[in-house]
Structure 1
Amino acid sequence: MPDPAIRLHDAPARNPGLPFDLDRVHAVQANTSAIERRAATLPGRRTVKKDWQAAWLLRAITCIDLTTLAGDDTPGRVRRLCAKARQPVRPDLLDAMGMGPITVGAVCVYHDMIDTALRALEGSGIPVAAVSTGFPAGLSPFPLRVREIEESVKAGASEIDIVISRRHVLTGNWQALYDEMRAFREACGAAHVKAILATGELGSLRNVARASHVCMMGGADFIKTSTGKESVNATLPVSLVMVRAIRDYQRQTGVKIGYKPAGGISKAKDALVYLALMKEELGDDWLRNDLFRFGASSLLGDIERQLEHHVAGRYSAAHRHPAS
């Protein structure tokens, strides 16, 4: 089987950001009809079969931020999720494919569950990500949002998923969005920061493109589509806009920014489409978990079912592959 090549390179350098440039922001446009036409071709452009498909699905697993962000989260649920993160695929399936152990990219939780996740993941090398800044709406007082980041970093989270103020985008107040992002980036310190744009609430693809550029100017290490709580989450047109913004930023600065689609990605076939998008638009470097993540809770179960079908020629019930 092709090697899924989980971690081939050193992690990319942190994004130092750029000085704010309003003219550059206003120059960013989005041709909606062309974007939608291109996005519509993606599901049929690249198909991978048999061993290659299994390898791509294994790669997808290594890029999952295994997530639980429910109001009824308990320490027991988080510990079970962390156990799944450490062993996301049944050992017998990995053995049948000639694979050694693999893990997911990270475990993502609320602040109160950071310590539980850290203890459950000790020695695994799996980072803990925490959602912050008044997730999911981002409407708490600004000083509290900054303090929330600082407290999560202090508690041991090595990745922080922040939410931007959508009103800054909708009113075209790009300076305010930039200043907010810079403050969040500074509060994160050594922790990597993922900027959640909540693209389903931004009104247009042009707004998505401009918000992507401003957040990268402000120092975001990743840009992320959604909280998973909006009515519209990750879509292919939005993803195409965001990954092309990443490509433009790299051309301008030489800095590689990560991408995280989140919300509504629950099927293995969807994961394959997103991996193909990353390969075609950004290249092989974005097929590893230091530059690409799925924000997901149910995706892993469907991938594991597909891998069992690859090995045994049959599908099993979903309850045989619980996530937590």
Structure 2
Amino acid sequence: MTTLNSTASSLAEATASDAALRRFLHGLPGVDQVGAEQRAAALGTRSIKTTAKAFAIDLAIRMVDLTTLEGSDTPGKVRTLAAKAMRPDPTDATCPPTAAVCVYPDMVATAKKALKGSGVNVAAVATAFPSGRAALDIKLADTTDAVEAGADEIDMVIDRGAFLAGRYLDVYEEIVAVREASKKAHLKVIFETGELQTYDNVRRASWLAMMAGAHFIKTSTGKVQPAATLPVTLIMLEAVRDFRELTGQQVGVKPAGGIRHSKDAIKYLVMVNEIAGEDWLDPHWFRFGASTLLNDLLMQRSKLKTGAYSGPDYVTLD
């Protein structure tokens, strides 16, 4: 307990000023770019047995945040997505539901009503998603609206401009304020790693968000390429592992954007197990932000059970 108390104190000192936070973040070990990419590639070649594959596919389904974030979203589309989240395969009652449905704040009430009693959470993007370019009071109002409409989870975006300009304390304080506005909803902090430029910045953003109280750290909005990648996720998994070792607090990880196939999802699960450990192989601690991944998981699941791929009408189009 003494160690944890002293750790909490040292982290509090690190956030006492912009200069202190800069010293802390720039004092983190640098990322070996070649080493990170090579290790991610090596983990991506691991093969798993058929029985393990069946388990991994069901686990991946349970980890999906089924997402629609388009300007053309309608209540009908959100209700359809909610039905799919609850019963991904209507012909197979053994198929598990997804973790959540992720929508814009104005669609939260629709999703919440459609998912009532199902155990599937409603996640809402907030804080001027996807750009993050808005005044803090607007971002907090955005968050409050989503929470009051029933959001179980808030996916916020950091101000990448402030982060890249080295205004770390501004970013930290904004996350703290959004966490407070989120009340009981879990807070996922999105970095938009495709705009952070370096792996060192991904590590710094990970620690910054965790120190500010994030429940999850998330790679991307899905609106900027590259989005989720294995090396970036590896760095984030190392960060949550090291943060728990230092503080005793566990934080989740959510890669989002560009993960479309079962084989890719399984690569991520192998990496979770190898880098962070089995404790993170749970929807409470690892999620996939996706819209099309679920379809491929369902087709691969059907093939494992029947020995043949289903026709194109087996899954619904999102």
Cα separation, 1, equivalents of 2:244 and 2:109? 35
Cα separation, 2, equivalents of 1:52 and 1:32? 31
Q: 2:101 aligns with which of 93, 98, 107?
A: 107
Give, in angstroms, the shift of residue 323 of structure 1.
5.0
Cα separation, 2, equivalents of 1:229 and 1:101? 30
Matched, 1:55 2:55: yes
In the other structure, the counterpart of 1:196 is 190
Query: How big is each residue's C-alpha offset from its partner over 1:88-112, in whole Å with a ceiling of 9 and x where there is no partner?
Result: 12434x5xxxxx3521001100011
Q: 1:169 aligns with which of 154, 163, 167?
A: 163
- TM-score, reference length from structure 1: 0.90
* Structure 1 residues not aligned, in runs of 5+: 1-15, 95-99
Give the 3-state SS of the residue equivalent to 1:91 in structure 2.
Answer: coil
Give, in angstroms, the shift of residue 49 of structure 1.
2.8
Matched, 1:281 2:282: no
Give the 3-state SS of the residue equivalent to 2:117 in structure 1.
Answer: coil
- Which amino acid in structure 2 is aligned with residue 61 of structure 1? I
Identity level (%): 46
Give the 3-state SS of the residue equivalent to 2:44 in structure 1.
Answer: helix
Give, in angstroms, the shift of residue 234 of structure 1.
0.2
Q: CA distance change for structure 1 residues 290 and 51 in 2, over 3 Å: closer, same or farther? A: same
Give the 3-state SS of the residue equivalent to 1:310 in structure 2.
Answer: helix
Give the 3-state SS of the residue equivalent to 2:130 in structure 1.
Answer: coil
* Matched residue count: 302
Matched, 1:91 2:85: no
Give, in angstroms, the shift of residue 309 of structure 1.
1.1
Cα separation, 1, equivalents of 2:316 and 2:227? 24
In the other structure, the counterpart of 1:79 is 79
Matched, 1:124 2:125: no
Alignment RMSD (CA, Å): 1.5
* Structure 2 residues not aligned, in runs of 5+: 1-7
In the other structure, the counterpart of 2:5 is none
Give the 3-state SS of the residue equivalent to 1:319 in structure 2.
Answer: coil
Give the 3-state SS of the residue equivalent to 1:161 in structure 2.
Answer: strand
Of the structure 1 ranges 193-202 and 180-189, higher mean CA displacement relative to structure 2 is found in: 180-189
In the other structure, the counterpart of 2:42 is 41
Give, in angstroms, the shift of residue 34 of structure 1.
1.2
Cα separation, 2, equivalents of 1:314 and 1:102? 21
Of the structure 1 ranges 83-92 and 174-183, higher mean CA displacement relative to structure 2 is found in: 83-92
Cα separation, 2, equivalents of 1:171 and 1:127? 35
Cα separation, 1, equivalents of 2:52 and 2:241? 26
Cα separation, 1, equivalents of 2:313 and 2:247? 47
- TM-score, reference length from structure 2: 0.92
Give, in angstroms, the shift of residue 168 of structure 1.
2.0
In the other structure, the counterpart of 1:268 is 262
Give, in angstroms, the shift of residue 318 of structure 1.
3.5
C-alpha contact 1:199 1:226 (8 A) present in aligned 2: yes
Give the 3-state SS of the residue equivalent to 1:252 in structure 2.
Answer: helix
In the other structure, the counterpart of 2:298 is 304
Cα separation, 1, equivalents of 2:312 and 2:259? 16
Give, in angstroms, the shift of residue 316 of structure 1.
2.0
Cα separation, 1, equivalents of 2:297 and 2:312? 10
Q: CA distance change for structure 1 residues 101 and 320 in 2, over 3 Å: closer, same or farther? A: closer
